[in-house]
Structure formats: C-alpha cells, structure tokens
Amino acid sequence: MVTPAHSPAPGPDPTPVAPVAPAPRHPAASTTAPLRIGVVGAGRVGAVLAARLRSAGHEVVAAAGESSASLERIATLLPGVAGAKPTAVARACDVLLLTVPDDMLDNVVSMLAASGALRPGQHVVHTSGRHGLAVLAPAERVGARVLALHPAMTFTGTAVDLERLSGCVLGVTAAPAERAMAERLAAGLGGRLMSVPEEMRTLYHAGLAHGANHLVTLVSEAMEMLAAAGADDPAGTLRPLLTAALDNALDRGDAALTGPIVRGDVGTVQAHLEDLAANAAHTLPSYVAMARATLDRAVADARLLPLRAVKITRALDAALAGAPHAEPAPRRHRAGDPR
C-alpha cells in the first residue's frame, strides 16, 4: 500500500462520543457468524476497508479517528457507526483493525496492550505494508491473535475505492493458525491473499511504493513538461500512451522498453536535456535518474551498444553538472483536494 493513505495516529479524543458496548469476553468460535470489527485510524484505508467488510455482512461496532477528514469518512462510509476512543474501540470488538501510519503503529499497539484494552483470543490486524508480526508483539503477549494484512492498493478514502478492492492482492504475514481469519477478511474485502515472509515485508512494501508512488511523481512531471510545451490537455495526451506502456510493461517487462535511450539516439537525449534545463529545470534530476536506470537495463539485455551507452552517460553527467537550482513548478490542486 504505496502508500500513503492512513489517518494520523489516534490520541486523546477531543469530542464526546457515544458509549460502545464491550464485546463478549469469550468470542464464539463460529467461522460463519459475522465478525464484530473495530477500526483504529479511520483514514483513507481504514474507513474503506471497514465499509467493504460491512457490506459483506460483518458488523463494524466502532471507529476511532481524530481529524475532521476522518470524522467525515466515518459519517460518509460508515453511517451509524459510533466514534470512540481507541481503547473503547478495542474493547468493543473481536477483530481490531489498526490502520494508523507505519511510524505510529508500535506506539499504538503498546498503548492498547498496556491499557488492558486487548484480551486473549481477540484478533489484532494491522494493514501496514512495511511491518510484519514483530510490531504486534505487545498484543501477542497478552494473548491476542495477530496478523498483518496489507492491501496492495492506493486509496482515495471515498466510495470509489470499494469496487477497486475486488481482486486486490492482500500481503499477509500470519502464523498458520491465523490463516483462516486472513481468508475470512480477504473474502469480505473481495481480495486474494499473497503470503509475505516476515523478513521480506519491507522489500515487498518498497516494491509497491516504487511502482505506485513514484509513478504518480513521474506522471505529474510528464504532465508539467507537456503543459510547458503548450498542451491544453496533458492528461488526455498521456493517457493512451501510458495505458499502453503500463500494459506492455506488466506483460513483457524490459522487452516493452522503447524510445531514444533504447535506440541509442544520443542527439535526441541531448536535446531533451537541453530543453528541460531551459523550460522545466525542476524535472531534470528525475529525468536523468530514470534515464540512467533505463540505460542500465537496455545495456544489460544487449539492446544498446556499450559505445552508445557511454555517450548517453556523458550527456546525462553534463546535464546535471550544469543544471542550476530550480524551484518545482506550482501544482494545480483539484477542488476538494485536502493537500
């Protein structure tokens, strides 16, 4: 989950909340009864996952979120669900979803365990891509059953995401005894499980972030270049090209590479660098970085002669050496964009 889609870590609740009934101390062992789910961190990920599970017939008993955006998501995606403090949410549910930022997850788990809000037999599930089971050790020590379940999806935090979850890969790290719960949650979300070893969680997440988050930066910069060149619809200009390139890359890998670097067109690359330096200098470092990576891959599969590669490398080196510092171009935010 390149990313990037959680609410701020929960803290003291600034507003009064409705009381939430505690969950039974000994949850039923049924594998068919609806799950009683609580969510701590009603950000873009948490609210959407809870709404999808609710639509699958499970009960969302409470949700914790502090920001105005989180409260709005609870009201919009989870109408009728009580807002509560994190400890109250944990006490009220049988399955606790922790959808807080990666760097805050350890503190949240430790706080909930130390407060007595977690109990033996309760399932505690986090959705971090980076973390595995180690971060849930405080919950496991009090007898909770733990698993990591990360949706390989980018989220808007709106109803648009609900259908996008269909077929989504869920990176799961769990003991064999918790596989059944992982499968129940995956079924409710409409996704499919992919096992990720504990020691490979960070690499798994880096691959997703590199592919998704950096793609957004790449596409945004490409649109800025086209806008500077006079395109009145940069997105529409790029869409057919990018759609074809993405499909080809997913199907064929490096064999899908096209363009001046693979062809060894040194003069074209040099012209790109000169025009970028003059008209979109803030994009030059990323263009050069991606050009180097493309160059390496083209040489590795023998599609580019080494002599041509050396000439292109020299052009890239010279472009960065002579590039002045440039401020990024102003970003145009859409209406309603919370950034």
Kindly report the three-state secondary structure assignment for every residue of 115-174.
CCCCCCCCEEEECCCCCCCHHHHHHHHCCCEEEEEEECCCCCCCCHHHHHCCCCEEEEEE
Contact 304, 259 (CB under 8 A): no
Res 322: pLDDT: 78
Distance (Å, whole) CA 262 – CA 130: 34
pLDDT at 77: 97
Angle of helix 201-228 relative to helix 234-252, nearest 10 degrees, comes to: 150
Phi, psi of 328 (to 5 degrees): -60, 150
pLDDT of residue 208: 96
pLDDT score, position 122: 98
Token representation of residue 323: 């590039």
Radius of gyration of the chain (CA): 24
3: region left, alpha or beta (phi > 0 left; psi from -120 to 50 alpha): left
Residue appearing with tokens 């009603």: 42
pLDDT of 175 over the 60 cut: yes
Q: How confident is the model at residue 23 (pLDDT cuts 50, 70, 90)?
A: low
Give the count of beta carbons closer than 10 Å to the beta carbon of residue 330. 7
* % of the chain with per-residue pLDDT over 70: 86
DSSP state of 229: T
Torsion of CA 199, 203, 204, 207, to 10 degrees: 180
The pLDDT, as a whole number, for residue 20 is 58
Instruction: Return the residue matching tokens 């609900």.
Output: 162
> What is the average per-residue pLDDT within 123-152?
98
- State the average pLDDT for the chain: 89
Q: Match 């009580």 to its residue by tokens.
A: 82
pLDDT value at 19 more than 70: no
Q: Calculate mean pLDDT across residues 10-20.
A: 45
Nearest to 7 by CA among 65, 81, 72, 90: 65
Select from 329, 320, 294 the least CA-distant residue to 223. Answer: 329
Region 106-119: mean pLDDT is 98
Find where tokens 């365990």 sit: 113
Arithmetic mean of pLDDT, 37-53: 96
Instruction: Read off the amino acid at residue 252.
Output: R
Answer for the pair 285, 234: CB distance below 8 angstroms, yes or no: no
The percent of the chain in helix, strand and coil, each rounded to the nearest 5, is 50, 10, 35
N- to C-terminal Cα distance for the chain?
19
Mean pLDDT of 131-144: 98
Element housing 186 (H / E):
helix 179-189
pLDDT bracket for residue 21 (50, 70, 90): low
Mean pLDDT for 185-210 is 97
Does 242 score more than 80 pLDDT? yes
The most distant pair of C-alpha atoms in the chain lies apart, rounded to whole Å, by 72
Q: Residue 222: what pLDDT?
A: 97
Whether the per-residue pLDDT at 268 is higher than 80: the answer is: yes
Instruction: Give, in degrees to the nearest 5, the angle at Cα 9 between 73 and 16.
Output: 60
